[in-house]
Amino acid sequence: MSDKAEVAVSYDVDNEFFRLWLDRRMNYTCAVFDDTDDLDAAQVAKLDVLYRYGHVRPDSRVLDIGCGWGANLEYLAVDRGVREAHGITLSEAQHAEIVRRNLPGVTASCVDYRDYVPPVRFDTIMSICMIEHVCTPQQARAGEAVARYRDYFRRAWEWSRPGAHFALQCILRNRAPRLAADIREIGWVTYQIFPGGITPRMEDIVQAVNPYWEIVEVRTRREDYRRTCEHWRSRLRGHADEIRRRWGDHLLADYDRYLTACIRAFEMHYQSLAQWSLRRIDEI
Amino acid sequence: MSTEELLALIRTGIADVTGRPAPALDIDTGIEALGLDSLQTLELVSWAEERLAIRVPDEELATVRSIGDLTGALSARLPGEPR
């Protein structure tokens, strides 16, 4: 699991920096471009998919594990009228942003998910591109990835009610790169931008959900994530002067390099993205 | 290709990837003991694949912990080698 300091490297740069180039609600995950080329609309479309995958209703109690700056929580509360939504993040900056938004029915905890003690059981678990922080590269190399992910799915099972659903979105480690330059760029992103994390392989998730969750539906969206990253890089470059002035040349160069590496990784099938609809297996 | 020839090839590959002379190897040598991280290991496999004109399946890459694992994964794909 990425620790608090590692999470801070990834997400506590400055909320105002991320606000410049993410969408209006600050989704920092793959959007869905089925019917639009607009980033804001595509991020809502992504949340629509996960709302359906999680079988959420307005009277549902929803837990969002790794809730970022609260984009999904805001969508649930404001767009869908969900009365109770709770988010977990390990980032102080993200937690502060959620508190600042003061959303109706929304609460949030700044806590490592392994230390979270839920006050109630939830009808729906949602987790959008957080599982990438559950296993470290060293643990994956030692063959511990499935056990780490299974522990995460076990906790989600324990925190949910019988009949619950789990809407999961995650980046996938897909085809291993063979070009040295690509290997080095992916390594740079892994260790410099997202230290402590590694993207899972699809077969790891398929194994790890057992015996807790049934895979009902899964959809990959590699192309959508490439387009999302292109939008982000374009918006980053569009604010280049302001970013240089406020945070320096180095931050702009690092984030341009990172997003360029991601675009390449999705183009080359090194990475993909999957959206999963899971149903709780009540008798285990 | 004999195991000795593969070990010699891998030594050249390690030197290429790390920029340092490779130490003596045998099949029990651990990859991590050589100071190679997972990305350098992938670079080494890629380097060897290119020279041998073979490709090791991705799922086997994660199981490469020792030089013996690596020579096994490579030799299994060489023409005429037992599988």
Query: In chain A, where are the structural domains located?
Result: 4-173+195-222+271-280
B63 CB neighbours in chain A (<8 A) are: 143
Cβ–Cβ < 8 Å for A110, B7: no
Cα separation, A275 vs A155, in Å, equals 20
The residue in chain B having the minimum alpha-carbon distance to the alpha carbon of residue A180 is B43
Which residues, 6+ apart, have CB-to-CB distance to A62 below 8 Å? A54, A56, A76, A82, A84, A85, A86, A122, A123, A124, A125, A126
Q: Angle CA(A59)–CA(A64)–CA(A70) in degrees, nearest 5?
A: 100
Task: Give B75 to chain A, closest Cα distance, Å.
Answer: 18
Is B16 within 8 Å of chain A by CB? no
Most confident of A15-29, B8-22, B49-63: A15-29
One-letter amino acid of A205: I
Residue A218 pairs in a beta bridge with A276
At A134 the pLDDT is 97
Sketch out chain B's domains with CATH numbers: 3-75 (1.10.1200.10)
Pairing mode, strands A271-280 and A160-173? antiparallel
Is B49 within 8 Å of chain A by CB? yes
Residue A173 pairs in a beta bridge with A271
Q: Is the pLDDT of residue B63 over 70?
A: yes
Q: Is the pLDDT of residue B65 over 70?
A: yes
pLDDT digits (tens, 9 = 90+) for A9-63: 888 889 999 999 999 999 999 999 999 999 999 999 999 999 999 999 999 999 9
Q: Is this complex scored with an ipTM above 0.95? A: no
Q: Please, how many CA atoms are within 13 Å of residue A146, restricted to the half-sphere of its CB?
A: 11
Cβ–Cβ < 8 Å for A63, A118: yes
Q: Is the pLDDT of residue B82 over 70?
A: no
Structure tokens at B67: 């030089």
| Nearest CB neighbour to A183, from listed B42, B49, B59 | B42
Omega cis (within 30) before A211: yes
| CATH top-level class of A4-173+195-222+271-280 | alpha beta
Label residues A26-51 b or e (16+ Cβ within 10 Å = b): bbbbbbbbeeeeebeebbbbbbebbb
Q: Is A132 left (phi over 0), alpha (psi -120 to 50) or beta?
A: alpha
| Nearest CB neighbour to A183, from listed B39, B62, B63 | B39
B81: confidence class by pLDDT, cuts 50, 70, 90: low
**CA–centroid distance for A243 within its chain:** 24
Give the single-character DSSP code of B26: -
Instruction: Return the residue matching tokens 């390594």.
Output: A187
Q: Is the pLDDT of residue B83 over 70?
A: no
Spell out, as residue ranges, where chain A has pLDDT lower than 50. Answer: none
